[in-house]
Amino acid sequence: MTGTAGQKRVPAEFVALNPFPIPPLKEQKRIVVKADELMKLCDELEVQIRQSKEDSERLMQAVLQEAFEGKYSEEPRQQVSVA
């Protein structure tokens, strides 16, 4: 049996005759709590990533500005030791 979009459908009588197990309500609630915790963590990580990108862009702009102002000329580079 297919639907209007060409997707196969599961007949209603199949679902009625073949119940599928679901976890107890207490377990479902625990799953929801854990999913909410993980979604909150994802939101926090997205904020951190966005902030890191903004910080990186500001740093790049500052370095480029200093470079164009000549602050990275040959003389200062010789004074800086790179380990």
- pLDDT tens digits along 58-67: 999 999 998 8
Q: Quickly count: other Cβ atoms within 10 Å of residue 40's Cβ.
A: 10
Average pLDDT score over the chain: 87
Residue 37 has pLDDT above 70, yes or no: yes
pTM of the model: 0.55
76 has pLDDT over 60: no
pLDDT of residue 23: 95
Distance CA 29, CA 25 (A): 6
Q: Region 56-83: what's the mean pLDDT?
A: 78
Which whole number is the average pLDDT over 16-32?
A: 94
